[in-house]
């Protein structure tokens, strides 16, 4: 379960989720006309943020790598294999995932302290941890993995 999606970007609308069905709706003013839509409420941005912190590629064209956003961290607080995990990622360090306040003792790869980043994992290691935790995929080891094997991101 996802508990929280957040950012240290002041204009980001942090989202707190509860058990059960959570619905994200945009408010519509009573004075709005039929031509005024519910666009720009942040629904698509929320999905993009979830993809970003769950290991999506962040190439040069990624919104998170734009100058206006790259220094800000985006995070997720969720359950993984029965444990609460807090992970963050920024466009500036797009290949690293900061792991905060999480019990990682059962993980095949342990977060390591990195210059100015804190306890973090590389992109491939993060995807491997997610694959193992969500789908019981074997830990990332290229010598053992067949080219046709599913990955966390493909599932």
Whether 24 shows a pLDDT value over 90: the answer reads no
Whether 49 shows a pLDDT value over 60: the answer reads yes
Whether 143 shows a pLDDT value over 50: the answer reads no
Q: Are 90 and 64 in contact (CB under 8 A)?
A: yes
Distance, in Å, from the CA atom of 102 to the CA atom of 19, rounded to the nearest integer, reads 20
* Closest listed residue to residue 75, CA positions, set 1, 132, 151, 2: 2
Whether 150 shows a pLDDT value over 90: the answer reads no
Whether 135 shows a pLDDT value over 80: the answer reads yes
Distance, in Å, from the CA atom of 5 to the CA atom of 75, rounded to the nearest integer, reads 6
- Please state the pTM of the whole predicted model: 0.86
| Bridge partner residues of 85 (DSSP) | 78
What mean pLDDT do residues 2-18 have? 96
Q: Are 121 and 109 in contact (CB under 8 A)?
A: yes
When the pLDDT of each residue in the chain is averaged and rounded to a whole number, the result is 89
Whether 65 shows a pLDDT value over 70: the answer reads yes
The residues, ordered by sequence, that sit 6+ positions from 119 with a Cβ below 8 Å of its Cβ are 98, 99, 100, 111, 112, 113
Whether 114 shows a pLDDT value over 90: the answer reads no
Whether 144 shows a pLDDT value over 60: the answer reads no
| Bridge partner residues of 100 (DSSP) | 86
């Amino acid at each position: 379960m996802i508990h929280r999606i957040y950012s240290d970007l002041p204009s980001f609308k942090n989202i707190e989720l509860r058990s059960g069905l959570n619905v994200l709706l945009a408010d519509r003013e009573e004075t709005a006309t039929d031509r005024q839509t519910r666009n720009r409420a942040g629904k698509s941005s929320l999905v993009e943020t979830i993809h970003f912190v769950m290991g999506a590629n962040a190439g040069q064209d990624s919104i998170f790598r734009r100058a206006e956003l790259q220094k800000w961290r985006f995070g997720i607080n969720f359950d993984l294999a029965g444990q609460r995990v807090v992970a963050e990622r920024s466009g500036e360090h797009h290949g690293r995932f900061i792991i905060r306040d999480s019990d990682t003792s059962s993980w095949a790869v342990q977060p390591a302290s990195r210059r100015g980043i804190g306890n973090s994992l590389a992109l491939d290691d993060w995807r491997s941890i997610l694959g193992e935790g969500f789908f019981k995929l074997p830990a990332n080891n290229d010598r053992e993995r067949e080219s046709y094997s599913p990955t966390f991101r493909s599932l």
